[in-house]
Structure 1
Amino acid sequence: MPSAAPSVPGAWPVAGHALSMMRNPLDFVTSLAAHGDVVRIRLGPLPVHAITHPELVRRVLVDDARHFERGRLFEKAALFFGGGVGTVSGAAHVQQRRTLQPAFQRGKLADYTPLVREAVEETVARWRPGQVLPVTDVMNDLSFAMLTNTLFTVGFTREAAAAVQRSVPVLLRGAMVRTILPEWWTRLPTPGNRRFTRAIDDMGAAVDGAIAAYREEGKDHGDLLSMLLTLRDENGARLTDRQVHDQVINFAIAGIETTGATLAWLFHELGRDPETEARVHEELDTVLGGRPPRHEDLPALEFTGRVVMEVLRLYAVWMFTRRTLAPIRLGDVVIPAGGEVLYSPYALHHDPRWFPDPDAFDPDRWLPARAAALPKGAFIPFGAGAHQCMGNTYAFTEALVAAAVVCGRWRLCPIPGTRVRRTATIDVHPDHLPMTAEPREAAVR
């Protein structure tokens, strides 16, 4: 017989669990599994079922995905990010994904690799021995450079690029806050709400300027934005500037700070784990012999790839949502139609049932035999099913190429006494990460 999901203790009057989630989101989501595979929380008056078991998460994302739409987080995001592939559900998502998929096919990724490498090489060429780098900022800048080298190759002026980079963290923070807090709060003239509105306007103006530049030039640059401007819908009509705008915003939001955070954490972990760093250096010297990485080299960088995988596990997105389209049974709980569902890649990746010693940085947990023992749904850094991030292979390639170029030439060394904390917006990034750049004396030249 169906039963009611257990309620998670600690709800506040009126606010429910929203305050606990806002104050310490990572501890909150990792605590939920102790109360059951399906548990009930409240965001203000809104009841939400949190799914904590990988088998049930996989059902929501893959097996029974037709019974769900993307839910509150994405519905809120669409209000300010627009109706792009990263926010819409249903037939609109299927159509947009099918249209955009050619930009991420295997042949395209091979074309992108030298452009990604070029962006990384331009970044490290500015470093000087002994220089203290704000690594979080540097990697966010690098992720934007990789994005513009590959998907949006012309059109962003220096001012527009700065506006995009300045806006993304504000928008990610605002998206999380707007998901958790009630709608009336977002209409208050608070400093945070004003910053959020300014960021929307600044980023929108930057993207519109890039679209206008492409329109005026009239050339096909072989990138995603050129493709968007030449696409036709099922009726043969070109996409409007607003539709192109929404797609660019979606890709920029998904592709800048998340990749930047992954790279920042990667160098943080290597900096405090000399043995792992030495294994990366040895592999790079053996496979590449001091030359830049080519696309065909990437499969041979097996250990470095496992390092990237472990970073993706440790620092995954902490919250996603779905909404039921019909009553559905998950475990012993029936969730009614219209019910909000929350799942957390971060919490799944830190569950000791699937990942022993989950806070330890252990790239060898991704050796084939060990990885094969994981239950399906336990590792979902890019989601799963029809809404899996379509740029997942592109993002992994970016991280692997960046790691290969940087570690081939430099060591990023931690500064003694610096405490680095995890900060959760939608992604999880370091609050600050100063590191000292030192040349690799042993690198093959």
Structure 2
Amino acid sequence: MSTFTTGTAPGALPGLGHMWPLLRDPTAFLASLPAHGDLVEIRLGRERAYVPCHPELLRHVLTDDRTFDKGGAYYDRARAMAGNGVATCPHRDHRRQRRLMQPAFHHDQLKAYAAVMEHETAALAASWGDSEVVDAYPVLYALALRTVTRTLFAAHVDEAVVEEIRQSFETAFSGFFRQMFMPPAVRRLPLPSNVRHRRALRHLHGTVEGIVTAYRRDGAGRGDLLSVLFSSQDTEGGDGLTDAEIQDQVVTVLAAGTETVAATLTWALQLLSEHPEQQRRLQAEADAVLGGRPARWDDIARLPFAARVVNETVRLHPPGWLFTRVTSAETELAGRRLPPDTTVVIAPTTVHRRTGAYARPLEFDPDRWLADRAAALPRGAFLGFGAGARKCIGDDFGVAECVLVLATIAAGRTVHSVPGADTRPVPLAAFHRPRRLPLRLDRRGPR
């Protein structure tokens, strides 16, 4: 039986707790916590919270979703913004929602969605000149948004609607943690930031409601994700998702399918630009499999190095960098008694960069995901997509898209860093992404 240690993170400020290090450099702060124990107490403002920093503890919290329910400041705000979808709903709603959502992410459906991924990725790559400098995240965010929008809605959604959705998400979610920690009385004030936030959410939900209503009125299946949601039936309860529930699922898929994919691809390109030997390995794999053409769904199984690059990127830079759980009953964790309604913070970085879990944890090493090496990792060492019943329902979708995009870029481009990067994370954003990452994409010569 494992013996765990507990401790308290130093440096909490009166009234602010550890908000300053979380704002200034959240990755460094979270990675430092294992030095203080396997379960570490921090302060979120005035609130005490506990961070599991050991693989076994973090996995235990994630897999016992009845005791460690989705709640607390993070999910209270997430539900207020994104609705009560499969990613944000509490335990009591999750089983039914997951069962109704599962057909939309069946392997055969993913293969159908891949045609959209292939088309959008090929179109983006074809639009670049011989030597293109791009600000990586906005470009890749737009790609991911076009892909998930066309996947959700097979009927053409014009670029103006896509751009409106993008702007709504950017405004509503870029300051997610600011809204999360802001006192309710301050959130209600007519401050310019609050007004913009509320307007963006109204526009986002109004757009989604209009699309869902139109689909329900037309009553025709199109083979897209939204049609699958309409056709899903609860075999135990006999009912399907209501329109309001479908709207919540659509917002959830839009959020999860854009920012997480864009952030992962952005960090992956940055890492490849800094490690040319790994980039050459990716290019060699793409050359052997693709022969210069864009990647397709059937290629994914033959692109194992690209998949390892994705895993290693998520290990070093998990897009979902901080979540909260709340204990539904008194429980014990690492020998510490936690009363009901105790906040537990889920931060994959605490384990992903822990020396005891990984050899050379700060090193970019895609080969640590070779089967024999990955099998030797401690259980619970990698939790970039969650674990247990609440494991990300769209992880195969997101990984497949990242592999297709990386392989397509590698087949035709060499990625170089350029001056002007600011890889500090956007402060208090919902997902971990750099503030600015310009990259130069040079067309590769004949091979």
TM-score if structure 1 supplies the norm length?
0.93
**Which residue is 1:253 aligned to?**
255
Aligned to 1:313: 315
* Structure 1 moving runs of 4+ over 6 Å: none
Q: Is the 8 A contact 1:53 1:348 kept in 2?
A: yes
Q: What CA deviation, in whole Å up to 9, does each residue of 1:41-81 have, x standing for no partner?
A: 2223322111111100111111x332121121112211121
> Any unmatched runs of 5+ in structure 2?
none
Range 367-376 or range 314-323, more displaced = 367-376
Maintained 8 Å contact 1:70/1:323: yes
Matched, 1:428 2:435: no
Matched, 1:203 2:207: no
- Pair 423,245 (structure 1): closer, same or farther in 2 beyond 3 Å: same
Q: What is the letter of the counterpart of residue 161 of structure 1?
A: V
| Residue identity matched to 1:294 | R
Matched residue SS, 2:22: helix
Counterpart Cα distance in 2 of 1:188 and 1:37 = 40
Pairwise CA distance, 1:155: 5.6
Whole-Å Cα distance in 2 between the matches of residues 49 and 273 of structure 1? 36
| Structure 1 equivalent of residue 331 of structure 2 | 328
Structure-2 separation of matches of 1:7 and 1:80: 32
Shift, 1:391, TM fit: 0.2
Residue in structure 2 matched with residue 276 of structure 1 by the alignment: 278
Residues 180-201 of structure 1, C-alpha deviations (whole Å, 9 max, x = no match): 3443332233333222212211
How far did residue 339 of structure 1 move? 0.8
Greater alpha carbon shift after TM alignment, 431-440 vs 390-399: 431-440
d(CA) in 2 for partners of 1:147, 1:428: 19
- 1:297 — aligned with what? 299
Shift of 1:240: 3.4
Match of 2:95 in 1: 94
The equivalent residue for 1:116 is 117
Verify the 8 A CA contact 2:420 2:438 in the aligned structure 1.
no
**Is the CA contact 2:149–2:254 (under 8 Å) kept in the aligned structure 1?**
no
What residue ranges of structure 1 are gaps of 5+ in the alignment?
Answer: none
Letter in 2 for 1:408: A
Report if aligned partners of 2:355, 2:361 keep a CA contact under 8 Å in 1: yes
Greater mean alpha carbon deviation, residues 317-326 or residues 146-155 = 146-155
Q: Secondary structure at the match of 2:324?
A: strand
Which residue of the partner structure matches residue 12 of structure 1? 13
| TM-score (ref. length: structure 2) | 0.92
* CA displacement 1:102-127 (0-9 Å, x = unmatched): 11112222222222111101111211
Does the Cα contact within 8 Å between 1:116 and 1:149 map onto a contact in 2?
A: no
Aligned twin of 1:343: 346
Question: Partners in 1 of 2:425 and 2:79 — Cα distance?
Answer: 26
The correspondence for 2:441, drawn from 420, 437, 445, is 437
Q: Shift of residue 383 of structure 1?
A: 0.7
Relative to structure 1, the CA distance from residue 4 to residue 305 in structure 2 (aligned partners, 3 Å threshold; closer, same or farther) is: closer
Q: Aligned partners of 1:194, 1:118: CA distance in 2, in Å?
A: 37
Counterpart of 2:66, as a letter, is R
Secondary structure at the aligned position of 2:49 is classed as strand
Percent of residue pairs identical = 37
Aligned mates of 2:305, 2:224 — CA distance in 1: 31
Mapped to 1, the partners of 2:190 and 2:251 lie a distance apart of 25
Q: Which residue identity is paired with 2:32?
A: S
User: Partners of 2:217 and 2:415 in 1: how far apart?
Assistant: 42
Is the CA contact 1:4–1:333 (under 8 Å) kept in the aligned structure 2?
no
Give 1:356 shift.
Answer: 2.8
Question: Comparing 374-383 with 170-179, which one deviates more in the overlay?
Answer: 170-179
